[in-house]
Structure 1
Amino acid sequence: MRRYVELWRLPSAPLLIVAGIVGRLPGGIAPLALLLFLADRTGSYGVGGVAVGVYGLTTAAVAPLLGRLADRRGFTAVLVGTGLGYPLAVGILVFTALAEVPVVLMFLAAALAGALVPLLSSSLRAIWTDLTASADSDGSASGDSTRQTAFALDAIALEVVWMTGPVLVAAAVATTSATWGPVIALAGAGVAALVGSLAVAASRPSRRWRPRPVSSGTVRRNPLRARGMAPALVAAFALLFGTGAIEAAIAGFADGQGRPALSGVLLSVWSVGSAIGGLWFGAQRFAVPIVRQYRWTLAACALGFAPLAFLGNAWLIGVVLFLGGTAFAPAITVQNSLVAELAPRGTLTESFTWLTTVTYSAVAAGTAVGGVLVDRPGGVTAALLLAAVTAVAAWAIVAWPGTGLQANKLSEVSS
């Protein structure tokens, strides 16, 4: 636990950790609450599903633009603006549905809310990168190992959000009604985003952060053109696509067993395994290059996904999900570290927002394709096999020579 103690002692670290969890709760609350709310108001899960898709895709599209603005103007203005704007947009979305306006206006309101999702994940990762670099420069800690711990804790925080959010929605629905439960949950998401964003924006590291200077005469580079960045993002897409397919497959499996609630239990078991793996990984210091760590964790994810397609017992699936999940948070941790190393100077936040875009898009696409497969005979097995194949593809992309992800080239890339 010494690594976590070192991290906790960094300036404003406790505030950043707690505010990061609170502010990102909408990620676990809003999709399910929005789906249930619009399905109740319109009588169509299809309308709710499209609205959730519009919400997520808009977030993915706008995030890099907000990241570029943060890189040039600082985090504070972007976090305050989105922190204040998101709850207002959620209020507009709720009002449009309650007023029974045309469906297209509901979709536009969902797009507005998605566009104003606070830029917390990318901002926090950029702040952690700078904080741990400062720890390295003043000799108080090893920057690389502390950054790995910070990114591991960030991955665990997201697991907490994904585990807690649906439970809060279910509790709100269970204690009120199918209409007002989701409304309460969406209101809570807006408040959480406001509180978390303003807390991070008010923190000393956020207020003191300044854009990295670019050499005179140097044009600020597009991070997607940096050597190795595109293959790294494609590998991330492949891995996260597989997680979306698994979520759809587990839901289909549970429904086929006549126990729909079982899907939540199994996915929570997966998240618990991931959190435990992330805690262990963040406490370690590895001497091997970051790219090699990425290959190992991706290979471990592929091995964890592979047996699922051949298991028909809920207990066995739970055990394999738990064991395989222990590799997932470490893979996400290394993925963040790799993007930080590949990002050209002055584009760190924008680079992380591209990773956010990939995450939203990949999980949505994987869930959609997995859902289509699950509706067909043998679809659960097919969706689980697809997840294993995409995890292997992620590993192959990183391992393939000539992708710009050779360990000895990274110092050149990030300079």
Structure 2
Amino acid sequence: MSAYSDILKSPGVARIVAAQLTARFPSGMLSLAFLLHVEQQTGSYGLAGLVLAATSIGQAIAGPFTSRLMGIHGMRPVLWITLAVCSVAVVVIGLIPPLMPVYLIVGFIAGLSSPPVQPAVRTIYPKMVNSKQLTPLFSLDASAQEIIWVLGPVVTTFVSTQVGTVWGILLAAVIMIGGGLWFISSPELGLVRIPRSKRRFGVVLARPAVLLGTIIGFLLVGASAAIEAGVVAVFGHGGAEAGLVLAVFAVGSLVGGLSFGHLPIGPWAMARRMFIIFAGTALAAFVMEFWWLAATLFIAGVGIAPVFAVIFATVSSSVKFSDTAEAYGWVGTGQLIGAAIGSALAGFLIDGSGAVGAFWVAAGFALAGFLVALGGRPWTPDLRGRDAGPIPDTEPVSIQPG
């Protein structure tokens, strides 16, 4: 733990970590808030899953594009515009009549305008700490973000079930605006400038580590989205059990991230951690009861933050600094497509086979993630004893003596 305390003592690190966590906190609220609200309005988990899919597809399309724009126009202008549009769209979702075409359109707009906070902050990190602290910082970030998934579902479930689903959505919008303003006003955004990339849009995805991280993120988040839908379907709207089980799932991730964060990242790291997720998810599908789901999803959660930490570190070490924001944008796009497909598949299987169908989907995604990580070992950079920072855009030019 001393390594993490030393990192947080670095100038500005604690502030930027707290600001970006607050700005991203609605991520842990909106999927569940939309699911509860649309299902209550329409009576169908399948239709609610489609709204989540539309939102996630919008985010997936925007991710690399808005990240790339930060290198052209600067971080603050892009964040200001996306924050304004997204917050309005979220409020509209909560207030409009239950018309599916309108839900889908506004949900898509909300996703398309999602502020690129995650690519921004992970581009800033390498400029705030030394090379030895970067991998633990990525792990701390991946672990700390689980606060979003611990408190977010609990807060959303409590407000939506005890006060109303509209208020669950509006609360998320308020936090989005407040956290976004705090993050955008942070001094670090003015001190770090993302260089304009000299490469064509999308070329960075050809980097093996970026492509692998994108695919693994797609499968991991697909499994997580299916688990979230399944847990909600098991416990319904009658109490706080769904939020508590999802909070335990996130606590497992927090524990795993802090436990594995100091370990060096080798070629086997991704596969080992994905197997933990698969094992816990597969076990969860056997019994649809509170304590069993809490225990098995805690096990599955232990692998979540460690996998994200491996993705962040390997991507960072494999691209030039000017390409890091776009690379993280593609990784985020993979995750969001996974969320869209995972939510949609889980929703329709819930309607057809009951809540257990969602856990079948989740186990399938997690198994595929483990197999891809196993096959992708040659593409996973060995960071044991290596700097996880991005490749400099300018390199020394060797001059031959005349």
Q: What TM bracket, shorter-length normalisation? A: 0.7 to 0.9
**Aligned match of 2:212:** 231
TM superposition shift of 1:344: 4.0
TM superposition shift of 1:165: 2.4
> How do 1:51-200 and structure 2 match up within 5 A?
51-94=51-94, 97=96, 100=97, 103-132=100-129, 136=130, 143-144=131-132, 146-174=133-161, 176=163, 181-200=164-183
TM superposition shift of 1:67: 0.5
Q: Write the distance in 1 (CA, Å) between the matches of 2:210 and 2:226.
A: 24
**So what's the TM-score if we normalise by structure 2?**
0.83
8 Å Cα contact 2:143-2:253 kept in structure 1 = yes
8 Å Cα contact 2:219-2:369 kept in structure 1 = yes
What SS does the corresponding residue of 1:342 show, helix, strand or coil? coil
Listed one character per residue, the Cα deviations across residues 237-264 of structure 1 (whole Å, up to 9, x for unaligned) are 2222222333344445556xx9875433
8 Å Cα contact 2:63-2:329 kept in structure 1 = yes
Cα distance change on mapping 1:168 and 1:262 into 2, 3 Å = closer
Identity of aligned residues (%): 25
**Aligned match of 2:397:** none
Of 339, 347, 351 in structure 1, the residue corresponding to residue 315 of structure 2 is 339
**Aligned match of 2:338:** 362
What SS does the corresponding residue of 1:390 show, helix, strand or coil? helix
8 Å Cα contact 2:56-2:339 kept in structure 1 = no
Write the letter of the residue equivalent to 1:228. Answer: A
**Aligned match of 1:394:** 369
Q: Write the distance in 1 (CA, Å) between the matches of 2:171 and 2:296.
A: 34
**Aligned match of 2:257:** 278
Gapped regions of structure 2 (runs ≥ 5)? 392-402
Cα distance change on mapping 1:5 and 1:389 into 2, 3 Å = same
Listed one character per residue, the Cα deviations across residues 63-112 of structure 1 (whole Å, up to 9, x for unaligned) are 211001113333222122222332233344445x1xx4964334322222
Task: Give me the CA root mean square deviation.
Answer: 3.3
Cα distance change on mapping 1:406 and 1:148 into 2, 3 Å = closer
Question: Mean alpha-carbon deviation: is it higher for 340-349 or for 36-45?
Answer: 36-45
**Aligned match of 1:140:** none
Q: Write the distance in 2 (CA, Å) between the matches of 1:232 and 1:376.
A: 32
In the comparison of the two structures, how many residue pairs are matched?
A: 389
Of 188, 211, 236 in structure 1, the residue corresponding to residue 194 of structure 2 is 211
Q: Write the distance in 1 (CA, Å) between the matches of 2:193 and 2:347.
A: 44
Of 248, 266, 272 in structure 2, the residue corresponding to residue 296 of structure 1 is 272
Write the letter of the residue equivalent to 1:14. Answer: A
8 Å Cα contact 1:152-1:279 kept in structure 2 = yes
Q: Write the distance in 2 (CA, Å) between the matches of 1:93 and 1:378.
A: 27
TM superposition shift of 1:207: 0.6
Q: Write the distance in 1 (CA, Å) between the matches of 2:313 and 2:142.
A: 12
8 Å Cα contact 1:62-1:115 kept in structure 2 = yes
What SS does the corresponding residue of 2:86 show, helix, strand or coil? helix
Listed one character per residue, the Cα deviations across residues 286-337 of structure 1 (whole Å, up to 9, x for unaligned) are 3453x33223222332333343344566434422222332222111111211
8 Å Cα contact 2:52-2:343 kept in structure 1 = no
**So what's the TM-score if we normalise by structure 1?**
0.81
